[in-house]
Amino acid sequence: MKLLNGNKVKLAVVLLTAVTAISTGCGAKTTEGNKSVAGDNAGQASAQTAGNVETVELTVAGRRPVGDSYGMENLAKAAEKLNQKLEKEDSKYRLKVNPVLKPDDLNQYIIFSSKSGKAPDIAEIGYSNIGWLAEGNYVMQMDDMKNQDVFKNLMPGYWNAVTWDKHIWGVIQDTEARMVFFYKPHLKKLGWTDEQIAALPKKVENGEFTMQDMADVAKQAVDQKLVKHGFLHNTGPRDVAAFYVNNGVQMYDEDKKQYVFDKANVVETFKEVKQLVDSGLLPDSMMTYSEKDRLKEIVNGTALFVGGGIWEEARFKQNGYHNELGNVNSEWIQQNLGVILLPPSKKGGKPITMSNPYVYVASKTTKHPELVKRLLVEVSAPEYQKNHATQSSHIPFTKEAQELAKESAFLNSVSYMTNYSKFVPNHPDEPKYEKIRAEALKNVETGTMTPEKAAEWMEQQMKLDLGSIVVK
Amino acid sequence: MVWRKVKEQGFNAMLLVPFFFNQYVLFLATAILVILIAFTSMDSSMHWKFNGIVNFRKALIDPKIGLIMLNTIIFVCMTLLFKVVWGFIIAVTTTYYMENKTVGSWFRTIWLLPRVSPGVVEAMLWTWIFSSSEYGVLNSLMHTLYGSAPVAWLDKYPLLINILLAGVMGSSLSMVILSSAMQSINKSYFYVAKVDGASEWSILRNLIVPFLRWPIMFLVIWQGLALLTSYESILLLTDGGPNSRSETWALYAFHKAFSSLDFGYGSAVSLFILPIVFVVIFLAYRVFGFHKLMNAAK
The residue among A195 and A35 whose pLDDT is bigger is: A195
The residue among A197 and A65 whose pLDDT is bigger is: A197
Chain A / chain B CB contacts < 8 angstroms: 91
Alpha carbon distance A233, B130 (integer Å): 23
Report which residue type is found at B7: K
Residue B63 is nearest to which of A22, A290, A457, comparing CB atoms?
Answer: A457
For residue B45, give the chain A residue with the closest CA: A136
Neighboring chain A residues of B157 at a CB cutoff of 8 Å: none
> In b/e form, how buried is each residue of B1-30, taking b as 16+ CB within 10 angstroms?
eeeeebeeebeebbeebeeebeeeeeeeee
Alpha carbon distance A295, A312 (integer Å): 8
Neighboring chain B residues of A108 at a CB cutoff of 8 Å: 258, 261
Neighboring chain B residues of A437 at a CB cutoff of 8 Å: none
Tell me which of A11-25, A208-222, A285-299, B259-273 is least confident: A11-25
Determine how β-strand A470-471 pairs with β-strand A258-261: parallel
Please tell me the predicted confidence (pLDDT) of residue A28: 36
Please tell me the predicted confidence (pLDDT) of residue A18: 45
Flag if B261 and A108 touch (Cβ within 8 Å): yes
| B282 band by pLDDT with thresholds 50, 70 and 90 | confident
Alpha carbon distance B212, B181 (integer Å): 7
Query: A349 Cβ partners below 8 Å, 6+ apart?
Result: A207, A210
Flag if B46 and A111 touch (Cβ within 8 Å): yes
Cross-strand pairs, A354: A422
Chain Cα centroid distance, residue A331: 28
Alpha carbon distance B255, B263 (integer Å): 10
Residue pair B76/B228 in contact (Cβ under 8 Å)? The answer is yes
Flag if B10 and A11 touch (Cβ within 8 Å): yes
> Average per-residue pLDDT in chain B?
88
For residue B10, give the chain A residue with the closest CA: A14
| Cα–Cα separations (whole angstroms), residue B102 to B90, B95, B98, B99 | 14, 10, 9, 9
Cross-strand pairs, A178: A309
| Cα–Cα separations (whole angstroms), residue A356 to A126, A128, A152, A432, B203 | 6, 7, 21, 17, 69
Residue A34 reports pLDDT greater than 50: no
B25–A contact, CB cutoff 8 A: no
Alpha carbon distance A342, A352 (integer Å): 6
Alpha carbon distance A69, A110 (integer Å): 19
Q: Which of A15, A130, A137, A321 has the most B C-beta neighbours within 10 Å, making it the best mutation to test the interface with B?
A: A15
Neighboring chain A residues of B61 at a CB cutoff of 8 Å: 464
For residue A23, give the chain B residue with the closest CA: B21
Neighboring chain B residues of A293 at a CB cutoff of 8 Å: 133
* Cα first-last separation, chain B: 37
The pLDDT tens digits for B44-69 are 888 899 999 999 999 999 988 999 99
Residue B44 is nearest to which of A17, A111, A290, comparing CB atoms?
Answer: A111
Neighboring chain B residues of A435 at a CB cutoff of 8 Å: 259-260
Alpha carbon distance B155, B136 (integer Å): 14
Please tell me the predicted confidence (pLDDT) of residue A448: 87
Q: Which helix (H) or strand (E) holds A178?
A: strand A178-183
Residue B292 reports pLDDT greater than 80: no
Short-list A249, A242, A267, A256, CA closest to A469: A256
Tell me which of A95-109, A165-179, B117-131 is least confident: B117-131
Please tell me the predicted confidence (pLDDT) of residue A32: 34
For residue A129, give the chain B residue with the closest CA: B44
Flag if A108 and B45 touch (Cβ within 8 Å): no
B260–A contact, CB cutoff 8 A: yes
Residue A464 is nearest to which of B46, B58, B259, comparing CB atoms?
Answer: B58
Residue pair A178/A308 in contact (Cβ under 8 Å)? The answer is yes
Residue pair B257/B267 in contact (Cβ under 8 Å)? The answer is yes
Q: Coil, strand, or helix at residue A143?
A: helix
Report which residue type is found at A143: D
Residue pair A339/A197 in contact (Cβ under 8 Å)? The answer is no
Residue A285 is nearest to which of B45, B58, B132, comparing CB atoms?
Answer: B132
| B294 band by pLDDT with thresholds 50, 70 and 90 | low
> What average pLDDT does the segment B245-259 reach?
94
Please tell me the predicted confidence (pLDDT) of residue A38: 36
Please tell me the predicted confidence (pLDDT) of residue A85: 96
Alpha carbon distance A252, A250 (integer Å): 6
Residue A19 reports pLDDT greater than 60: no
Q: What is the DSSP letter of A366?
A: -
Residue A56 reports pLDDT greater than 90: yes
Question: Cα angle vertex A459, ends A453, A460, to 5°?
Answer: 90
- Please tell me the distance in Å from A16's CA to the nearest CA on chain B: 10
Q: Which of B41, B44, B61, B255 has the most A C-beta neighbours within 10 Å, making it the best mutation to test the interface with A?
A: B44
Neighboring chain B residues of A15 at a CB cutoff of 8 Å: 13, 17
Query: B230 Cβ partners below 8 Å, 6+ apart?
Result: B166, B250
Flag if A288 and B5 touch (Cβ within 8 Å): no
Residue B46 is nearest to which of A15, A115, A287, comparing CB atoms?
Answer: A115
Q: Which helix (H) or strand (E) holds A182?
A: strand A178-183
Please tell me the predicted confidence (pLDDT) of residue B243: 81
Residue B44 is nearest to which of A285, A428, A439, comparing CB atoms?
Answer: A428
Short-list A148, A80, A136, CA closest to A108: A136
Flag if A15 and B18 touch (Cβ within 8 Å): no
Please tell me the predicted confidence (pLDDT) of residue A39: 37
Flag if A460 and B5 touch (Cβ within 8 Å): no
| B298 band by pLDDT with thresholds 50, 70 and 90 | low
The pLDDT tens digits for A380-400 are 999 999 999 999 999 999 999
Alpha carbon distance B29, B40 (integer Å): 17
Residue B288 reports pLDDT greater than 80: no
B243–A contact, CB cutoff 8 A: yes
Flag if B9 and A135 touch (Cβ within 8 Å): no
Residue B61 is nearest to which of A19, A285, A464, comparing CB atoms?
Answer: A464
Determine how β-strand A258-261 pairs with β-strand A252-253: antiparallel
Flag if A288 and B6 touch (Cβ within 8 Å): no
Please tell me the predicted confidence (pLDDT) of residue B119: 80
Q: Is A467 left (phi over 0), alpha (psi -120 to 50) or beta?
A: left
> What average pLDDT does the segment B150-170 reach?
90
Query: A450 Cβ partners below 8 Å, 6+ apart?
Result: A274, A444
Predicted structure pTM score? 0.78
The pLDDT tens digits for B72-131 are 999 999 999 999 999 999 999 998 887 777 888 888 888 887 777 788 888 888 988 998
Q: What one-character-per-residue DSSP string does A266-321 give? A: HHHHHHHHHHHHHTTSS-TTGGG--HHHHHHHHHTTSEEEEEEETTHHHHHHHS--
Q: Dump strand ranges (E) for A51-127.
A: 53-62, 93-101, 122-126
Please tell me the predicted confidence (pLDDT) of residue A88: 95
Residue A320 reports pLDDT greater than 60: yes
Q: What is the DSSP letter of A389?
A: H
| B256 band by pLDDT with thresholds 50, 70 and 90 | very high
Flag if B242 and A442 touch (Cβ within 8 Å): yes
Interface of B with A in 110-169 (CB under 8 A): 132-133, 152, 154-155
Report which residue type is found at A146: K
Q: What is the DSSP letter of A64?
A: P
Query: B294 Cβ partners below 8 Å, 6+ apart?
Result: none
Residue pair A279/A220 in contact (Cβ under 8 Å)? The answer is no
For residue B239, give the chain A residue with the closest CA: A288
B5–A contact, CB cutoff 8 A: yes
- What are residue A362's phi and psi, to 5 degrees? -120, 140
Residue A11 is nearest to which of B13, B18, B44, comparing CB atoms?
Answer: B13
Q: In what order do the strands lie in the sheet with A229-232?
A: A229-232, A303-309, A178-183, A337-340
- Please tell me the distance in Å from A232's CA to the nearest CA on chain B: 15
Q: Is B211 exposed, middle or buried (0-12, 13-18, 19+ CB in 10 A)?
A: middle
Query: A381 Cβ partners below 8 Å, 6+ apart?
Result: A78, A150
Please tell me the predicted confidence (pLDDT) of residue A451: 98
Neighboring chain A residues of B132 at a CB cutoff of 8 Å: 285, 288
Flag if A432 and B5 touch (Cβ within 8 Å): no
Neighboring chain B residues of A432 at a CB cutoff of 8 Å: 260-262
Neighboring chain A residues of B43 at a CB cutoff of 8 Å: 132, 428-429
Q: What one-character-per-residue DSSP string does chain B give? A: -HHHHHHHHHHHHHHHHHHHIIIIIIHHHHHHHHHHHHTB---TT----B-TTHHHHHHHH-TTHHHHHHHHHHHHHHHHHHHHHHHHHHHHIIIII---HHHHHHHHHHHHHHHHS-HHHHHHHHHHHT-SSTTSHHHHHHHHHH-PPP--HHHHSHHHHHHHHHHHHHHHHHHHHHHHHHHTS-HHHHHHHHHTT--HHHHIIIIIHHHTHHHHHHHHHHHHHHHHH--HHHHHHTTT-STTTT--HHHHHHIIIIIS--HHHHHHHHHTHHHHHHHHHHHHHHTS-HHHHHSPP-
Please tell me the predicted confidence (pLDDT) of residue B39: 97
Residue A253 reports pLDDT greater than 50: yes
Residue pair A129/A123 in contact (Cβ under 8 Å)? The answer is no
Neighboring chain A residues of B130 at a CB cutoff of 8 Å: none
Residue A37 reports pLDDT greater than 60: no
Share of chain A above pLDDT 90, in %: 77
Alpha carbon distance A417, A398 (integer Å): 15
* Cα first-last separation, chain A: 75
Q: Which helix (H) or strand (E) holds A259?
A: strand A258-261
The pLDDT tens digits for B214-240 are 899 889 988 999 999 989 999 999 999
Please tell me the predicted confidence (pLDDT) of residue A47: 66
Q: Which of A10, A104, A116, A135 has the most B C-beta neighbours within 10 Å, making it the best mutation to test the interface with B?
A: A10
The residue among B11 and A463 whose pLDDT is bigger is: A463
Tell me which of A35-44, A256-265, A300-309, B249-258 is least confident: A35-44
> What average pLDDT does the segment A219-241 reach?
95
Neighboring chain B residues of A429 at a CB cutoff of 8 Å: 43
ipTM of the complex: 0.72
Q: Coil, strand, or helix at residue A452?
A: helix
Report which residue type is found at A42: A
Neighboring chain A residues of B63 at a CB cutoff of 8 Å: 457, 460-461, 464
Flag if B152 and A285 touch (Cβ within 8 Å): yes
